[in-house]
Structure 1
Amino acid sequence: MTAAVLQTEVPGIPCRRGKVRDVYDLGEQLAIVVTDRISAFDWVMPNGIPGKGRVLTAMTKFWLAWLGVPNHLLSDDVADLPEPFRAQRDVFEGRTMLVRKTTVIPVECVARGYLLGSGWKEYRQAGTVCGITLPADLREAEKLPEPIFTPATKAEEGLHDENISFDAMARAVGKDLAADLRDRTLDVYKRAAAFAAGRGIIIADTKLEWGTLPSGELILIDEVLTPDSSRFWPAESYRVGGSPPSFDKQFLRNWLETTAWDKNSPPPPLPPDIVEQTAAKYQEALERLTGVRG
């Protein structure tokens, strides 16, 4: 297995680092580099997952092409980037997107087709998800009668996103924009979920990001329908009543739960077998969906 790319460096170009991405400011454009870092429970693990960044980038590019919705991608060719990137082609190839810069909508746009995670927790307490009343007696991981839109606040680094109601979102961004974002997000989710179902994958939920260009045009940005922003379940092992096996980093979370880590201090290094199994899950999700390797 090749070494993981945990951080990139490009002299002279401003960079903002997130949990997984190194984002370089090129003026009117951005270069988004997806590293092999992996996070869980709001901590970045000390060692990464080799090849993960290329898998996530390949999956995002696939969905952007397949969906056909206006989006931020300009090029995935390192030759279109400034020379300092081209000088490190072996690092940036396959994990970098040149994109249009937008004003980011300050709300996470989440579509849910199944009842799990924070939605399941709220449902058990109140029978609702983000204020949406659901039928009684639903079980964990059960398919919802119809996909629902459940926005969330964008948390500061190290904090959890917080689910909010559609009305709260409308107050934050405006009623018309909120309705447009809801409709676009649900359309993307429904079409993608139907496509994935034909390839043996259940997309239980997904989180999308949107931004506006200087012209005011609303476009899809950031990663799209990847195992880091969605719950992907293999259809053949899906069962209602518990958390199904997944292609996303829930596998890693489950392993961390078996350790003595307290989630309040730096996490332990990931053992080689956990790294390999996690990498294999990401790779399998890409191959099932697209038929190609990352």
Structure 2
Amino acid sequence: MNSQDKSSQTSSASDAYRFDSEGALLETQLPLPRRQGKVRDVYDLGDDLLIVSTDRISAFDYILPSGIPGKGALLTAMSRFWFDRMDDGTIGGGKIGHHLISTDVPEAVAKLVDPEPLRGRVMVARKAEVVPFECVVRGYLEGSGWRAYQDSGEICGVKLPAGLRQCDQLASPIFTPSTKAEAGHDENVSFEVMAEGAGIETSSSLRELSLMIYQDAARIAAERGILIADTKFEFGWFGEDDAAKKLIIIDEVLTPDSSRFWSADEYEPGRSQRSFDKQFVREWLLASDWDRNSEPPKLPAEIIEKTAARYREGFDRLVG
């Protein structure tokens, strides 16, 4: 490598990461093909994907200018915890396949950029053909499910008993799929609508797998004093031969960004519950003068610290 090549490589490495003033990793720019979600930067490694969980945080469909330091590493570690439970059969009895290969920074990537900011926040994952529906499981009545129940007495075509209160536990978990929106909100749909789009056999398999994962994960969490109110899963088809393709779970799984976690000792139906997530951020934004139609404001240091602590508390109770 000549001196010009070395200079070019050093320059690209120094431009690979963008942090905010609090030290949160807001963006990665590795010299690889990239697409960005609200939280994750996804790179094409050829046969596999490199999924980087940044410290970005979103609210009301906006990515905020402030991040939550360490959040991405916690999400990655929590997903790894649940994927390990699938591998050892604690979740799904050995029937659940997933996309995670490794949480180590690949050597090829470490040669391109300084690997230190990536450590603890990456997943090397199998490529899969994504099923275009979110697989939502609800064990308690909250969020969009609570609003739908108040309007019609049902959620996504699932009729529920009259007289339920906000955050009541359901008699048994229900499967309530939604579309996957590229921007804005996903749309809740009935199982029948999902079956029309994905096929009845695929949809039935996804419902069975989703309920299985939720019930096993909810039992594990309950042993640690945590209630999983609801969660959403993403699945994809994996395999080169169409005849041998199988459904595997992809993306993050059972994290505070994809699930609603409550403390069992604080649980009281009939009102909203404190969650182990970005609740402090949402409440501060609602109380601010932000109109939710323009670029959002930076978060105060106190809100960032409280939010980081809440994510950490949920992680420690579940995984620690």
TM-score tier by shorter-chain length is over 0.9
User: What CA distance in whole angstroms lies between the structure 2 residues aligned with 1:84 and 1:47?
Assistant: 29
Distance in 1 between residues matched to 2:296 and 2:271, nearest whole Å = 26
Amino acid at match of 2:24: A
Equivalent-residue separation in structure 2 for 1:272 and 1:190 (angstroms): 37
Query: 1:197, 1:237 → 2: CA distance?
Result: 13
SS in 2 for 1:6: strand
Task: Note the C-alpha offset of 1:26.
Answer: 1.1
Which residue pairs with 2:288 in the alignment? 259
Aligned position for 1:271: 300
Equivalent of 2:315 in 283, 286, 290:
286
Q: Distance in 2 between matches of 1:45 and 1:84?
A: 31
Worse-superposed segment, 240-249 or 271-280: 240-249
User: Does residue 50 of the first structure (1) align with residue 69 of the second (2)?
Assistant: yes
Given the superposition, is the C-alpha separation of residues 47 and 84 from structure 1 closer, same or farther in structure 2, using an over 3 Å criterion?
A: farther
SS at match of 2:181: coil
Please state if 1:230 is matched with 2:259: yes
CA contact (8 A) 1:130 1:150 kept: yes
Post-superposition Cα deviations, 1:24-57, rounded to whole Å, max 9, x if no partner, equal 0111210000000000110011010000000000
Distance (Å, rounded) in 1 between the aligned partners of 2:207 and 2:136? 9
Question: Normalization by structure 1: what TM-score?
Answer: 0.95
- Which of structures 1 and 2 has the larger relative contact order (alpha carbons within 8 angstroms, sep 6+)? 1
SS in 2 for 1:209: strand
- Aligned residue among 57, 72, 75 for 2:102: 75
Larger radius of gyration: 2
Q: Which runs of 5+ in 2 are unaligned?
A: 1-20, 88-95
Cα pair 2:134 2:232 within 8 Å, conserved: yes
Identity of aligned residues (%): 54
Counterpart in the other structure of 2:125: 99
Q: How many angstroms does 1:283 deviate by? A: 0.8
Give the corresponding residue for 2:277: 248
Alpha-carbon distance, 1:61 to partner: 0.3
Deviation of residue 169 (structure 1)? 0.2
User: Which of these residues, 191, 209, 221, is aligned with residue 166 of structure 1?
Assistant: 191
Q: CA RMSD in A?
A: 1.3
What secondary structure is seen at the aligned counterpart in 1 of 2:277? coil
CA distance in 2, matches of 1:81, 1:188: 34
CA-CA distance at 1:79 after TM superposition: 4.0
Q: Any conservation in 2 of the 1:142–1:241 contact (CA below 8 Å)?
A: yes
